Each structure stands twice: as C-alpha cells, then as structure tokens.
Amino acid sequence: MDTDMTTEIKQAVQTIKNAILQSQARAARMISGSQLSLYFGVGLYVSANSREGTWGTGAIDDISKQLHKELPGLRGFSAKNIRNMRQFAEYWQPFLFRSPSASKLEIAGLRNEIEYDTFALANWSPLATEIDRDEFLGISFSHHMEILHKTKDINEVLFCIHETVVHQWDKYTLRDVLKTGIPQPDHVAPNNFVQTMPSSKQAMKAIRMFKDEYLLDYINVEDIDAREEDVDERLVEQRIIHNIKRFIMTLGRDFTFVGNQYHLEIYGEEMWSDLLFFNRELNALVAIELKVGKFRPAYLGQLFAYLQVLDDKVRKPHENPSIGIVLCKSANQAYAEYAVRDYNKPMGVATYKTFSDMPKEMQNALPDIEELKKLMDDNSD
C-alpha cells in the first residue's frame, strides 16, 4: 500500500475490501439482489463519510485506485460507479428505511462499517409497502442508475422498474425508452409496444395515447347484462357507433373511423374486426376488439389474427404495423401485461366503465346525453 495514503483512506479501502470479499464468499456469482445489497451498503458508507465525514477531496478516486490494486480484476468499482452507489443509496434510503426511531447516531455508525446484505428478506423494511421487492431486486444496478439519472420522482421510478421487469428490457432498450420521456405511471394500458413497434419513439407515442380505462357513459348496462355474451358485445358496439363522435373524442386526437365489423379474409377464412380506426399521429390502423366481460388471454389470440390480416391485406406500404386494443369490462393489469408480452404484433389491453359504474354524484353532474348530442351536432355544422 502506498505510504502517502492517509489513515482515513487506508481504513476506507480495508473496510470496503472486506465487504467485497465477504459478499463474494457468500456466492460464487453475484445475482442482482446481492449485488444491489452490496452496492447499497457501500453507497451508504461512502455517503456518510464523504458528505459529513472526514474524507477530503479526491478520496473516492483514491479509494477506487487502491481497491483495484488490492483486488486485481475487480469490476464495478470505478470512481464513477462508487459515486453512483452513493447516489443509489441516498435515493433509496429514505424509502426503504423510514423508521422514525432512526437517529443521527445510527446513521453516523455507517461511517465505520458496511452492511452488505441489506436487502435480505429479514432486513427488508416493513414500511416499504409500496415497493415491490421482487421487482426492485429483479433489475441490475445499471438499470437502476439509468432510471435514477432520468427521474427522481418515486412514482415514475417505480413505474420504470415495473415496466423494465415486465417487458424484460435490457439496459440499452431502457435507455432508448427513457430518452423519449417517461410516460405517466397512472392510466397506461398494459401493452407490448416497445418490443413490437418500429422505434422506441413510436412506441412511447402509443403508450401515451392509449389509456388503461375509458368512460363510455352513453352505454346503459341494464340493457345488456342479461343477454348472451356475443349479443352483449354487439350492443356495446352499436352504442359506440351511435355515439362515434364521442368515442373518437374519448380515444384522443388524430383518430379517423374506418368501420365496424370490418370484413377480413385470408385463405378462405372470414373474420370481422369490431371497430377499425386509423391514427394519423401513429400512421397506423387501430383495431379495437370489444368484450363485455373480464379479460381473457384468448382475446389476444383473436386480435393477433386480425392484425396479421390487416398488415398483409389492408395496410398501405408507407404505414406502420397495425395496432390492436382489447377493450373489455375488467382486467387484472399485471396478468394482462404478462399475457401480451410475447406477441410480436403491437397490442394493448384497456377497460371501460359505463354510466352505471359511475358514482351517483358524478352521474348527476353530467349534462343530459341528448342535449350533449345536440350540442356536438350543432358544433359540427
């Protein structure tokens, strides 16, 4: 060891090196969770000493150099990465360990030792209820830092972690997604757009465009709840067609209605897409399949077949691949995300509420439907 190193640097090197060796001894390979635990522990230790401790300027660079001398072949402990560990720990410490009994004395104790198994189940804070432990530990440190370099909003961070796990994004795909901006965590329909659309930019447009739930307050559920399912769906479709202007307004901008029960045929097999639109912003056909019950994975298979024929027989050469949306009465979002993940056509799952699903006070606050129709007709003249 260099003779000109300060006592603080020597102690820091020895403490971090011991933590590394102990962590490596626990497992031949560092899985993501144990690596994150180690990095979190090192980050807290570095934070405690570099922010309010006795370390001087350049200490982290010196520590990194000496660690690589004493542990040849060590990876992940560049000065830059140690600073990332500090950022990682400082960000998550308030969320994972929010015990009101935590004192400055306890925090100060971090200056002298490193807990490298912080994320073991026995140590996981029971207060961190909004954080999915499996998802948190299911992505790499590089993934975490890509997210933290883009946003510090906890809801956005958790949403990005969730989407990374569900869609199995590698670091570079995640980086491309984040470059286009982070979609709002709420009201995003389960989808596979990033994996299946021509570019990340196009995918993020679609993610922002399609909501997880739509209000179809012009549908009277009492008219359809006692009928067969296929009849129910046709009635919902007819209500939408009768109120197509409002439905397009509900979908959002740049939608053009192509038709309902749109006829498709391939190899002598006929099929009919419930609702077909074209979106100018996405430059793509959008097929919506209506279902009156709970989401079922089989609906995706049916929609997938429609999209195949649309792309092969209807789509123009300059248009992007067709997009499909299953619009059903209810859905387990996590399961829907899981089910749609492995399809290679752009698809999403959304739900809808009818007038009867709305709270009574909201129903009373809405204008009369007939008056609203008349107003919309007058404005279109």
Q: Give the chain's domains with CATH numbers.
A: 7-138 (no CATH), 209-380 (3.40.1350.10)
Name the average pLDDT for the chain.
81
Distances (CA, A) of 29 to 23, 24, 170, 181, 297: 10, 7, 20, 34, 37
Distances (CA, A) of 71 to 41, 76, 113: 19, 12, 19
The pLDDT tens digits of the residues spanning 304-339 come to: 999 999 999 999 999 999 999 999 989 998 899 899
Residue 126: band (very low, low, confident or very high) from pLDDT cuts 50, 70, 90: low
Longest dimension (CA), the chain: 88
The pLDDT tens digits of the residues spanning 103-117 come to: 444 444 556 778 777
Instruction: Read off the tokens for 117.
Output: 């198994």
Residue 265: band (very low, low, confident or very high) from pLDDT cuts 50, 70, 90: very high
The pLDDT tens digits of the residues spanning 39-79 come to: 999 999 999 888 876 788 889 999 999 999 999 999 999 99
The pLDDT tens digits of the residues spanning 187-196 come to: 678 999 888 9
Instruction: Give the model's pLDDT for residue 141.
Output: 93
pTM score of the predicted model = 0.57
| Close Cβ partners of 152 (under 8 Å, ≥ 6 residues apart) | 91
Lowest mean pLDDT among 59-63, 95-99, 350-354: 95-99
**DSSP symbol at 261:** E
| Close Cβ partners of 303 (under 8 Å, ≥ 6 residues apart) | 287, 289, 324, 325, 326, 347
The pLDDT tens digits of the residues spanning 2-21 come to: 556 788 888 888 888 888 87
Q: Which residue has the higher pLDDT, 69 or 371?
A: 69
Q: Which residue has the higher pLDDT, 42 or 163?
A: 42
Task: Report how far residue 190's alpha carbon sits from residue 334's, in angstroms, rounded to the nearest whole number.
Answer: 8
**Contact present, 246 and 236 (Cβ < 8 Å):** no
**DSSP symbol at 255:** E
**Contact present, 216 and 250 (Cβ < 8 Å):** yes
DSSP codes, 301-349: HHHHHHHHHIIIII--TTSPPPEEEEEESB--HHHHHHHHTT-SS-EEE
Task: Report how far residue 109's alpha carbon sits from residue 114's, in angstroms, rounded to the nearest whole number.
Answer: 9
